[in-house]
Amino acid sequence: MLTVAGVLSGCGSATSAQPTVSGPGVLTLENAKAPAPGGEVGGASTEFADAADMKMWSKLSDTEKDVDRLAKYDVNKTVQGSMYLEPRTSAWFDGFRGPFVYQELAGDIVMYARVRITGKTGGQPDRQFSLGGLMARQPGSYAKPNWVSITTGTAEKSGQVEVKYTQDGSSRPQELAVKDGWVELVLGRVGGAFVALCREDKGTWKVGRRWPSTLPDVLQWGVTAYTDWDSYALLQKDPAKGNAQQVKGTPDLKMTVDFVRFLRPELPDYADPLNTTSVSDEVLIKAMTPAGA
């Protein structure tokens, strides 16, 4: 059986391994199905029309006893019909931990959200690595952090989407350009792969990354926001000390989340989502984004 670990090198570009006679088959656009709404995971979807929706979400700082790095966090209050997060100086990189609100879900998942990131005075955040978006994390993985994310905001420069896989405390990020304004993000797991997709407001979906899935069946799926990596200074080389305190700095991020929707993706057994010939970008987009989105 063909083993493939080909991944995308950027939003919309790819390297691929060719299927062989004994390897995966080719899934056509006609035969691909959009992910199914409803069911168990559909009940986790949140439109944020009521402050009571906040009860559906757990804060990592509460459940795994960490520093609370959210200066402000509410639903349908600061921004009507939205979740709102304003992080203190924080980071999700290698062994560093930042804010995270989540729901614990099992199996193959599509997590789909519409988000907007700004600095505190508008525009893009000024501080480096001020990002917000979606994350799927292995519960209880403080000692050896394992998670995957797609976020947007300011990385080394402003106007970026960052896709990142962290395995056993080692992060591998990659950035790609995105316009200011609302951005739609998808983070999903299907058939042995994690995938990250993005779409600018009124734009077209693009595949940001595909990774082999090594995380357990049950994960924390949710929303993260962090900011102001520069203020860690000498602590940038010491995650243990950085995590043990609230670093004083100049946080500069406001995150608005319009909705978070959960769906079930489905691929036929013959399709390999890590193989861009077996499952092309066009087909993957259909299989991992809601019908009509």
* CATH number for the segment(s) 39-264: 2.60.120.200
Q: What is the pLDDT of residue 293?
A: 79
Q: What is the pLDDT of residue 17?
A: 52
Paired residues of 254 in beta bridges: 118
Q: Is 169 exposed, middle or buried (0-12, 13-18, 19+ CB in 10 A)?
A: middle
Tell me: pLDDT of 21 over 50: no
Q: What is the pLDDT of residue 13?
A: 41
Tell me: pLDDT of 4 over 60: no
For the chain, the structural domain boundaries read 39-264
Lowest mean pLDDT among 1-5, 147-151, 195-199: 1-5
pLDDT band at 23 (very low <50, low <70, confident <90, very high): low
Query: Are the C-beta atoms of 175 and 155 separated by less than 8 Å?
Result: yes
pLDDT digits (tens, 9 = 90+) for 226-263: 999 999 999 999 999 999 999 999 999 999 999 999 99
Alpha-carbon gap, residue 52 to 59, rounded angstroms: 15
Q: What is the pLDDT of residue 196?
A: 98
Q: What is the pLDDT of residue 292?
A: 82
pLDDT digits (tens, 9 = 90+) for 51-81: 999 999 999 999 999 999 999 999 999 999 9
Q: What is the pLDDT of residue 12?
A: 43
Alpha-carbon gap, residue 186 to 151, rounded angstroms: 10
Structure-model confidence comparison of residues 293 and 290, the more confident one: 290
pLDDT digits (tens, 9 = 90+) for 78-137: 999 999 999 999 999 999 999 999 999 999 999 999 999 999 999 999 999 999 999 999
What is the Cα gyration radius of the chain? 18
Token digits of residue 291: 């019908």
pLDDT band at 8 (very low <50, low <70, confident <90, very high): very low
Q: What is the pLDDT of residue 290?
A: 94
Alpha-carbon gap, residue 11 to 196, rounded angstroms: 9
Pairing mode, if any, of strands 130-137 and 109-118?
Answer: unpaired
Q: Span 157-177, mean pLDDT?
A: 96
Virtual CA dihedral for 79, 85, 88, 89, nearest 10 degrees?
A: -120
Q: What is the pLDDT of residue 7?
A: 35
Element (H, E) at 239: helix 239-243
Contacts from 199-204 at CB under 8 Å and sequence distance 24+? 203/179
The phi-psi region of residue 85 (left if phi > 0; otherwise alpha if psi is between -120 and 50; otherwise beta) is beta
Query: Are the C-beta atoms of 205 and 197 separated by less than 8 Å?
Result: yes
- Of 251, 194, 256, the C-alpha closest to 223 is 256
